Structure 1
Amino acid sequence: MIRESPAVTAAPAVRTVDVRHEQLARALFAAIAAIMITFSPDHSASVGMSVFSGFATASAIAFFLSAWLVHPAGRRRLPIVLGSLTLVGAILGGLPPLRTPIGFFAVVVSWAAVTGAIELAAGIRRRRREPVARDQILIGALGLALALGLLLVNPAYSLEYVIAEAGGAYTLTGITIGVGIFGGYAAVIAVFLGIAGFSPRAPRSAESVEATASASPHNVNPEVAS
């Protein structure tokens, strides 16, 4: 007598979009922001907020798309929360009344502190289970570093100086320093996420298949008994 084993559970579908694509998208948007600030002769609050608002809008879209395309059901809370908070920052950055030195520091510091703390905490919590958690820890720490760096700058700071070789007088202001710090943050994020995105790693589909196989009692070889 031959006893048939239960049907083998089908392997989950292979995802064509992985975590690396989310990282590369974020790296691209950060690189664009860094380039715009670096090559702009105007580091005013208006320019700084415009660049931040565009960066935050694109990053929020990347978070929302990754929640749908990258993360499985039950694991989408983090990108949705980060995307929502980043979108709020983008909206605030686009409001004309907030395009002032005080507004720039308030919006960017708040965004960097909250999203940085959330991503850092998520990475620490997942560091034993997911290799990508190490990237989250560093990105979160960099966000907190951005907030701290901006808090150390006085928005009302102003220093006049003369460069004889250039034949002119110039003024270094707090907002110029603040926008420059944000540009430096964007450049570091772009480099790090770009490296993380191109680094070799185990495919997500392979991890999912292994997890499913170990968790399902039906994935066993057929037994033949007489």
Structure 2
Amino acid sequence: MNKLLFLLLALPTLAFANTALKLDHAPVNVHDHESLQRGARVFVNYCLSCHSANYMRYNRMQDIGLTEKQIKDNLLFAADKPGELMKVSMRPKEAKEWFGATPPDLTVIARSRGADYLYTYLRSFYRDDSRPTGWNNTVFDKVGMPHVLQELQGQMAPVYMTETDHEGKQHQVIERLELVKTGKLTPAEYDATVADLVNYLVWMGEPAQTQRMNIGLVVLAFLGVFFVIAFYLKKEFWKDVH
């Protein structure tokens, strides 16, 4: 009886595991300021026209090595002052009419979806004339978002294979994507650009994480030193008792 109950409880988990997406590993390093700066440039130029980052201020990018002048000259396209939030002018109602859904705010999207998901998703768009935007995605089927990075990546087309399900029925499924029209970047360069963008999104989700980790190391070092002092104090106080 107990074994049967365990199997019943495990079935949903097993079913989910079998249908889980295979995600590529995102090479995230929030200590790499050059990567974060490149990612910030891609984000402002390609993402910020539709997606907001309402909980992030432009001047916070000084934490990744940019000066206020660099932010003003190179990244401040949708605001007047570096202290402003990273908002978009597009109205939510209009966005829903154009894309079928309001583009989500991206401030904490990396914490919500995960770096591996974003890295795979941004490299999985392919041409699909049946979709209103002309694009689809192997990670997010029937996605409403167009491929905004297509000029960099180029156009990918699906290569299909025949798969037989558990009922013996055959289906056409996407085996892989192949490049049919080149973009401004080579495939390796595009992957590196997406990695920089995802790296920036991860950092933006928690800009204080580097500082928090540094403070944590200092606290651990202090506790380690204090432990030695406390140990010898304890020995001194209790030496006559023992």
Q: Report which of the two has the higher share of strand.
A: 2
TM-score normalized by structure 1? 0.27
TM-score normalized by structure 2? 0.25
Report 1 or 2 for greater relative contact order, CA contacts < 8 Å, sequence distance ≥ 6.
1
Q: Report which of the two has the higher share of helix.
A: 1
